[in-house]
């Protein structure tokens, strides 16, 4: 039956996610791949893992592969939608669809013009923004930027409608409703939190075209999603950890809720003690607390935990570089800056600048590795 197939797909994707969180990245992809042409959840999970890899590597081929896979996942979701007649389409223009039109497995609505189409109630990530920001990375011209923006707005509107549906008194919970609600909370929370942290001038412009962001509501949705037993719970946790350990410093005031971050991380670190993702966040928390030696140990553990995604090592190298900077150990700081300059493509100029800065801290009698000269490096930058 459709219900049992959906339940089976969710269980299998949870298994793949478990493989991913234990650093078995290739195994997770191999486990999902056979059913990516038929199952929405397999396809979306597979594409999401590729998307995460692309965002870490910034490699054009990885971005292209992830973008194409996400497009295929969306097309698969569209094929699972119930076909609407001309009468249904006309009716949707006049009247808003009722809850009676929806089923747990497949959504049966054709949206109004310019509204995001709901491909499946069981997979609200289907029309999500992930694929669109990949396309923006892949093709930087203005037309692509505008198209991507329109599609992100459609996704935003879809999540708003899903949120209203979940909160409706007429909403009937099916067997797999925790997974659906978890996806809605992830999408609504992510949009609200991200938009709320944009500069006021930009936010006013976005509000003019239909966007709005409420940080408190976004955090609440993500916290509820993180506390649930759903497929997206761990994604809510990761986003909250990113917010508490990174975004509050980059886009906010730095008033981090470190206790909340530790509370979120603890159960996952206990369950996945060698999970590279959680070891990395553990290191970030120690940095924020000022426990630099403990942070160094965590980042080194993270590097040792897996060898498949070298780009994840680079994130640790960046943190280790700063940890040794805080300790005034310039040679170790230089070592990690040099590794990044040779292995990573995020910002060569930044890495070379940091190498030169560390060399300038060496004493006159100290040996300078690799024959580098800080003056020449500064000129290169």
Give the three-class secondary structure for 38: coil
Query: What gap in Å lies between CA 263 and CA 241, rounded to an integer?
Result: 10
Specify the CATH number of the domain 257-327: 1.25.40
Share above pLDDT 90 across residues of the chain, in percent, rounded to a whole number:
41
pLDDT tens-digit readout, 7-23: 888 899 999 999 999 99
Question: 117 with 136: CB under 8 angstroms?
Answer: no
Structure tokens at 250: 């980059």
Smallest CA-to-CA distance from 280 within 257, 263, 305 is with 305
Residue ranges per domain, the chain? 257-327, 328-381
The confidence score (pLDDT) of residue 42 equals 92
The answer to whether the CB of 350 falls within 8 A of the CB of 375 is: no
Say whether pLDDT at 132 is over 60.
no
Residue closest to 68 by CA, chosen among 38, 36, 39: 36
What is the mean predicted confidence (pLDDT) over 258-266?
A: 95
DSSP state of 284: H
Percent helix, strand and coil across the chain, each rounded to 5? 70, 0, 30
Any idea what the Cα angle at residue 72 is, between residues 138 and 69, rounded to 5°?
Answer: 50
Task: Render pLDDT for 40-57 as a digit per residue (tens, 0 to 9).
Answer: 889 989 998 888 888 777
Q: CA 280, CA 320: separation in Å to the nearest integer?
A: 11
Q: Give me the pLDDT at residue 285, please.
A: 96
Q: Kindly report the pTM of this predicted structure.
A: 0.82
């Amino acid at each position: 039956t459709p219900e049992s197939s959906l339940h089976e797909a969710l269980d299998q994707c949870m298994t793949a996610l478990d493989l991913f969180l234990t650093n078995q990245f290739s195994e997770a992809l191999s486990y999902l791949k056979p059913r990516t042409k038929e199952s929405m959840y397999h396809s979306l999970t597979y594409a999401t893992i590729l998307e995460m890899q692309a965002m870490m590597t910034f490699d054009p081929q990885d971005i292209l592969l992830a973008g194409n896979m996400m497009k295929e996942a969306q097309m698969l979701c569209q094929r699972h939608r119930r076909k609407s007649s001309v009468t249904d389409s006309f009716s949707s223009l006049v009247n808003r669809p009722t809850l009676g039109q929806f089923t747990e497995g497949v959504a049966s609505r054709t949206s109004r013009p310019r509204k995001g189409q709901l491909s499946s109630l069981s997979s609200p990530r289907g029309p999500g923004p992930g694929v669109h920001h990949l396309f923006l990375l892949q093709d930087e011209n203005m037309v692509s930027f505008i198209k991507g923006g329109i599609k992100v707005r459609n996704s935003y509107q879809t999540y708003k409608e899903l949120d209203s549906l979940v909160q409706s008194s007429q909403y009937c919970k099916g067997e797999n409703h925790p997974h659906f609600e978890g996806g809605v909370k992830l999408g609504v929370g992510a949009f609200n939190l991200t938009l709320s942290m944009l500069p006021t001038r930009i936010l006013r412009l976005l509000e003019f075209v239909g966007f709005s962001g409420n940080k408190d509501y976004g955090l609440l949705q993500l916290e509820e999603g993180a506390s649930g037993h759903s497929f997206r719970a761990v994604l809510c946790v990761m986003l909250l950890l990113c917010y508490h350990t990174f975004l509050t410093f980059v886009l906010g005031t730095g008033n981090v809720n470190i206790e909340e971050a530790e509370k979120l991380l603890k159960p996952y670190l206990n369950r996945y003690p060698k999970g590279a993702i959680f070891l990395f966040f553990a290191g970030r928390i120690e940095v924020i607390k000022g426990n630099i030696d403990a942070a160094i140990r965590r980042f080194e553990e993270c590097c040792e935990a897996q060898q498949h995604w070298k780009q994840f090592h680079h994130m640790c190298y960046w943190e280790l570089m700063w940890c040794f900077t805080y300790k005034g150990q310039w040679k170790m700081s230089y070592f990690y800056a040099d590794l990044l300059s040779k292995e990573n493509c995020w910002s060569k100029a930044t890495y070379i600048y940091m190498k030169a800065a560390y060399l300038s801290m060496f004493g006159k009698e100290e040996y300078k590795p690799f024959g580098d000269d800080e003056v020449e490096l500064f000129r290169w930058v």
